[in-house]
Amino acid sequence: MAPPTPGNPDFAWMARALELARAGGLRGEVPVGAVIVRDGSVLAESHNRTVERHDPTAHAELVAIRAAARRLGDWRLTDCTLYVTLEPCAQCAGAIVLARIPRLVFGARDPKAGMAGSLDNLVQDPRLNHRVELMDGVLADESSRLLRRFFRARRGKGGQP
């Protein structure tokens, strides 16, 4: 399926996820942003917070999923769409399945850790009790560019990617 174009809600929500990713990058976090939408409104959103929280599990998707579940008072996030700038890793893909999120839209593929079609496809594994509808490539170039700039700058300062 072709990625949506400007004017499509998927494009607009991914643009918001990119804003969050940029904000996280300015705080020294790997620039990934996530937005959970239900009935056309933001239920929860976040950027990566692993550095801020000293928590390797504080990926944008997980922080947003936890906030959405608290807000709804339910761990099941049915009728929601998760927008994230980077293809989810194994941890986040597992959480998406466990939360019963029916739809995932992401920007850039992650060939080293992506578990929504690149390295493997946990979110659509037929052996699991829940499978997610996928849309990838939404604002992928912008998402990739943001990540490349972040890691290029980090390597330039002597940090490890």
Among the listed residues 61, 87, 133, 142, the single catalytic one is: 61
Strands 80-86 and 133-136, sheet pairing? unpaired
Torsion, Cα of 15, 149, 95, 67 (10° steps): -60
Active site residue 87: no
139: left (phi over 0), alpha (psi -120 to 50) or beta: left
**What are the two backbone dihedrals, phi and then psi, of residue 64, each rounded to the nearest 5 degrees?**
-65, -40
CB 80 within 8 A of CB 16: no
CA distance 57 to 62: 7
Q: How many CA atoms lie within 13 A of 57 on its CB side?
A: 7
54 token code pair: 């000293």
Amino acid letter for position 23: A
CB 62 within 8 A of CB 95: yes
Q: Which residues are catalytic?
A: 61
